A and B are shown apart, each in its own frame.
Chain A
């Protein structure tokens, strides 16, 4: 080796050594880095890795059934077939739509919604084409699936109401969660999750809803599910058993539907259980679960007969003569009026310069409480009310359950109104007038009651003066509601017997105002009280001309009311009927109440 070469070799060796050392240093750094990442921070990154790949999915829980007292389903979850489309599996959407349209109806609106959904979701997430498919449609799609890339049939649950119109106001319906109703409950986040919007569905929504299950799923970087790691099944909602008798309810609804606008409550006078509660006109809640059209909705909203309102709990009406028992019981209880008090009715009563008419122009002659109730003599009640005063009447009215909410298991209950001196002073800043007491005595003027309150009032009178509370809830889940003990209202049994006798004669005495609607069956004779509530004061001129109420426009006609109880001997069932603008309690409401009572007897839900 030449000198130059040796020198060069030595230089190279030296420098190669340095470079080799640098390499080793480099590997040292890399090893250190790996130690840091894989050992020191392993836990940290392992957590991150799991967060990366594990996602929680909530599983739908079955909504609880709603049934009547005998287990007849009122709200169920029906099998519902839906057609889905997985966009990424369909190479040509237009073509797929065209083919799908051959087998199932697919409106332009449906297609718009589908296209919108496709845009907002990932391409592998199924989008619903259409729900509510019938068997034939399912079969047609299924057979042609090879021809429909990306289309699949899935089975879901759809809330359905077998009794449709008959229970619409009571059961209510479910609908998609509105932004304002959102809570942080995970179940709310489920796609297509529906909650109770009205009625029992709303009142017991929490119980019916159940709890969402959870499923831990492994997802990849784009969010596609790879596999399920573990899952906790959801808990189905509780079954809600109502005190209702479905058949009685159906009958009640169909009977009421003969009127333009009416409501009725059939209740147990002893335990407060409601056997039927109807309001007409009604609507089909099944249309709501599937999404109601704007036109249908507009029509329901604008109808003067308010089909969406449950008038049995939220309709407020002057009770008319059905209030007369209250006036009597208040007068007797005060001691200012003896129970055997008699009044001569010449057809009117003069108080100061005002003349207050009895509904009977010719007058009733001399009447006692029994006759006064049976013939609905207004003058008798003018007389005793004048003696006892409005405050005592109001006190008795409240005692009997008027002017207050009964917290029944329904949303939208209204309290009604029982006026007294303080109320008027507070409300109008004016002193109470004697004339107003007289008008109030026969259930006119300021006083407002709901059909439910009327039923409660009558129940408290005929059950021996116990403070019965109305209820719709029979069983919740597996728990049977206890039968509460209702305390006495402190009303003399003798007085109660007197008004009961009067009410018995309303129907069963020849001169009774509802004699035409009596029940012949001795074991199930009915008592009751008619009421005709003025909507608009009849002018003196009209009176002179003899204008008949039924000739007036519908909105100006009187409300027709009837409160009934049966059987006479040991009252169990009470019924309150209000026919809006039904003209006459005896002519319209009493026959209706009789029919309902007869059906109740046939069903005998309390037995």
Chain B
């Protein structure tokens, strides 16, 4: 129910983004949403045992797709991220996120708490994360790579990995930050610099975030009204149909609209965690919570990005931003969560 509302909000927002037109975004979004919804229901009805068995194959398939992108991918917006399938352009990295969750859930399902406490035991799951993260990073897509890592981290955490190990990793990352800086692309460095000081380049890299803040801020509490967002409709706001869709909504619907959207998101996330908790098997718990964390991260990063809290990293707002793969992946993810919910009483053997 919540998902359907979110999807419909997306349709309406995209309708506005196109200046009151179903073309070019709202209609397709609606169709994709319908198709994704069907896929979600199918995924929900498939037995959780099947999913457990399919986890590794799905992961491997995603990896292969990523490699295919690397070899013969569609280059767009300065990055090689898409595979053109004729009908739709597939972005395998979106599915990789779920693939990683599935593979890790599968892996930790077969592990006892004692196993997990053991550092050496974690080498294999770390490899499961490192391979796709590295593949996505060379696309280059730092945002997705970090998302994969973060979601994986959440699963490690939920699976029971010791707190001290997280401490070590976080300390290590902090130490490595200056080194990593050198490996960043110039545009990525620039984004971070501009984030720290948007006025640095108000017409270039800083333009997006400045305009986004203007649009958001001028929306006020009540908003400017549907189809009346001046900043978005006069094209001051770039990429209003994708990454900055939240800005458009907040400009037109104001704080109230944003609060409603937040509530829906929070409820969705809460629902995901409740399903996870209700599941009687570790696989289901990790799948449901992992995908929920993934979804939540999307929302956080996107909104934090458009409100100027973090640098612009190119993460869409799930279910609402225009974009095929992301929505299909998210809906598929919800399908898995629902499957976990439906089959919560199923007890799964550790070894399959």
A residues whose Cβ falls under 8 Å from a Cβ of B: 1, 4-5, 7-9, 11-13, 15-16, 19-20, 23-24, 26-27, 29-31, 33-35, 37-39, 41-42, 44-46, 48-49, 52-53, 218-222, 226
Contact of A8 with B216 in the complex, beta carbons under 8 Å: no
Question: Within the assembled complex, what's the spacing in Å between the Cα atoms of A24 and B286?
Answer: 19
B21 within 8 A of A: no
The 10 closest A-B pairs by CB, nearest first: A45-B217, A49-B218, A220-B234, A46-B218, A42-B220, A221-B235, A45-B218, A221-B236, A38-B255, A37-B217
Q: How far is the CA of A461 from the CA of B147 in the complex (A)?
A: 103
In contact, B221 and A38 (Cβ under 8 angstroms): yes
Q: Can you report 17 residue pairs joining A to B where beta carbons are below 8 Å apart?
A: A1-B280, A4-B112, A7-B113, A12-B276, A16-B158, A19-B158, A33-B307, A34-B258, A37-B213, A41-B217, A42-B218, A45-B213, A45-B216, A45-B217, A48-B218, A52-B236, A53-B236
Q: CB-defined interface of B23-60 with A at 8 Å, one 1/0 digit per residue?
A: 00000000000000000000000000000000000000
Instruction: Indicate if B342 sits at the interface (CB-CB under 8 A).
Output: no
Task: Contact check, B293 vs A19: say whether CB atoms are below 8 A apart.
Answer: yes
Least CB distance from A7 to B in Å reads 6
Contacts of B265 in A (CB 8 A): 27
Most B CB contacts (10 A, CB to CB) among A5, A11, A34, A42 go to: A34
List of B residues within 8 angstroms of A15 by Cβ: 157-158, 160
> CB of B300 within 8 A of chain A?
yes
Say yes or no: is B2 at the interface (Cβ < 8 Å to chain A).
no
Query: What is the minimal beta-carbon distance from A350 to any residue of chain B, in angstroms?
Result: 90
Point out the residue from A16, A42, A226 that lies within 8 Å of B277, measured CB to CB. Answer: A16
Interface residues on B, range: 35 or more
Interface of A is mostly: helix
Query: Are A20 and B270 neighbours in the complex by a CB distance under 8 Å?
Result: yes
Contact between chains at B307 and A37 (CB < 8 Å): yes
What string of 1s and 0s marks CB contacts (under 8 Å) between B159-186 and chain A? Answer: 1100000000000000000000000000
B315 to A: closest C-beta gap in Å: 14
Which residue from chain A places its CB closest to the CB of B215 in the assembled complex?
Answer: A49
Known A5-B282, A20-B269; 9 more pairs at CB < 8 Å: A11-B113, A11-B160, A16-B276, A16-B277, A33-B309, A38-B216, A45-B216, A46-B220, A221-B234
Report the Cα distance A39→B218, complex, angstroms. 9
Find out whether the CB atom of A39 lies under 8 angstroms from the CB atom of B221: yes
Which residues of B are interface residues toward A (Cβ below 8 A)? Answer: 112-113, 154, 157-160, 211, 213-221, 230-231, 234-236, 250, 254-255, 258-259, 262, 265-266, 269-270, 273, 276-277, 280, 282, 285-286, 289, 293, 296, 300, 303-304, 307-309
- Bound-state CA distance A365–B254 (Å) is 109
A23 and B307 alpha carbons, distance in the complex (Å): 17
Residues of chain B within 8 A (CB-CB) of A34 are 216, 250, 255, 258, 307
Chain A residues near B293: list those with CB within 8 A: 19, 23
Q: Is the CB of B296 within 8 A of A23?
A: yes
Q: Which residue of B lies closest to A41 (CB)?
A: B217
Residues of B within 8 A of A221 (CB): 234-236
Contact B112 A8 (CB under 8 A): yes
Contact of A20 among B214, B273, B280 (CB under 8 A): B273
A481 to chain B, nearest CB (A): 52
| Cα distance, A24 to B157, chains bound together (Å) | 18
Least CB separation from A24: chain B residue:
B266
- A288–B266 Cα gap in the complex (Å)? 74
Inter-chain contact A19/B289, CB cutoff 8 Å = yes
Query: In the complex the two chains form, what is the Cα distance from A1 to B285 in whole Å?
Result: 15
Q: B160, B254, B280: which has the most chain A beta carbons within 10 Å?
A: B160
Contact call B266/A27, Cβ cutoff below 8 A? yes
Please, how many angstroms separate the alpha-carbon atoms of A33 and B216 in the complex? Answer: 11
Contact (Cβ within 8 A) A13 B300: no
Q: Point out the residues of chain B lying under 8 angstroms from A44, CB to CB.
A: 217
Contacts of A5 in B (CB 8 A): 282
Cβ A19 vs Cβ B234 within 8 A: no
Q: In this complex, what residue of B is CB-closest to A26?
A: B300
| Most chain A beta carbons < 10 A, residue from B217, B259, B296, B303 | B217
